Amino acid sequence: FALTVASSPASADAMTLVMDAQAVAVMVNALFGGDPDQPVAPIERDLSQIEADVATTVFQEVAAALNGSGKRSLDLRLPVPKAMSGTEARRRVLRDGAAVRIVYGLSTPSDSGTLTVMIPQRLLLSSRSDETTTGEDGESTEFDWRARFSEEVMRSTVRLEATMPLARLTLGDLAAFEAGQVIELEENAQLNARLSARDRTLFVCEFGKLGQNYTVRISHPHDAGQDFIDGLLPG
């Protein structure tokens, strides 16, 4: 694959562009007059100089188109750096954090590849906001950006899961389970349902039913320390 990272005054990684090997092959074939109806030979090695130059040209056009202009511009430093590939590209570490990811398809009648663009959310918030509180120097205050980032995070969605403990059994008992077997709940199981999100337990709840729908009622926040102690006690 080919990769380049465009910077801006606000961020060293304002835009990351990645083309998979098949997309590079499609673009090389198109730019050098290849037959669009014939399959493109896949690239299973590091990119050649010409292939890297073609990828750089494509990256430049995409970055320029997405950069924008005026107050809403990303202020990318163009032209983009030359495309990396092979070991150099694989060594590149992408910063973790919220980002916008745009995937373009590059195709001929017989082959297709993808070009992916990633723009950090922090950059979009700082450059696209029309209601930014500014300090004396005309720039956004740190408190303002913290508040805006927190607001965006709170809008993200998570999957909420409720689980209920069944019983404490030996591994031998567990190995003897078979299809159709009925397992009895512990006496207080419905009072100890666990509410979790993203593999993290948040609350201890009471399992119940309201009309035709099952419910959980939050009893108290989950105490991981108490769970650890309970796990040390004999069942």
Weakly modelled stretches of the chain, pLDDT under 50: 130-134
CA distance 118 to 80: 14
CA distance 30 to 27: 5
- Cα 27 from Cα 43, distance rounded (Å): 12
- Write down the pLDDT at residue 113: 94
Using CA of residue 153, residue 154, residue 155, residue 156, what is the dihedral sign?
positive
Closest CA to 23 of 6, 9, 3: 3
pLDDT given at position 48: 93
How far apart CA 27 and CA 58 sit, in angstroms, is 8
Q: Do the Cβ atoms of 219 and 205 come closer than 8 Å?
A: yes
Asked if residues 52 and 83 have their Cβ atoms less than 8 Å apart, the reply is: yes
Cβ neighbours of residue 167 under 8 Å, at least 6 residues apart?
A: 183, 184, 185, 186
Q: What is the dihedral of CA 193, 196, 201, 202, to 10 degrees?
A: -90
In this prediction the pTM is 0.55
CATH 3.40.1550.10 in the chain, residue ranges: 2-129+147-154
**Which residues, other chains included, contact 224 with Cβ-Cβ below 8 Å and sequence gap of 6+?**
201
What pLDDT is recorded for position 150? 65
Structure tokens at 40: 């493109």
Please name the fold of domain 2-129+147-154.
Answer: Chemotaxis protein chec (3.40.1550)
Helix (H) or strand (E) holding 211: none
> What is residue 131's predicted lDDT score, i.e. its pLDDT?
45
Q: Where in the chain are all domains bearing CATH 2.30.330.10?
A: 160-232
Determine the 3-state secondary structure of 152 from DSSP.
Answer: helix
pLDDT for res 207: 87
Q: Residue length, the chain?
A: 235
What whole-number distance in Å separates Cα of residue 208 and Cα of residue 205? 9
Say which residues have a Cβ less than 8 Å from residue 141's Cβ, sequence separation at least 6. Answer: 133, 134, 135
Domain 160-232 has CATH 2.30.330.10: yes
* Confidence (pLDDT) at 201: 87
Question: What is the average pLDDT value for the chain, to the nearest integer?
Answer: 83
What one-letter code names the amino acid at 76?
Answer: L
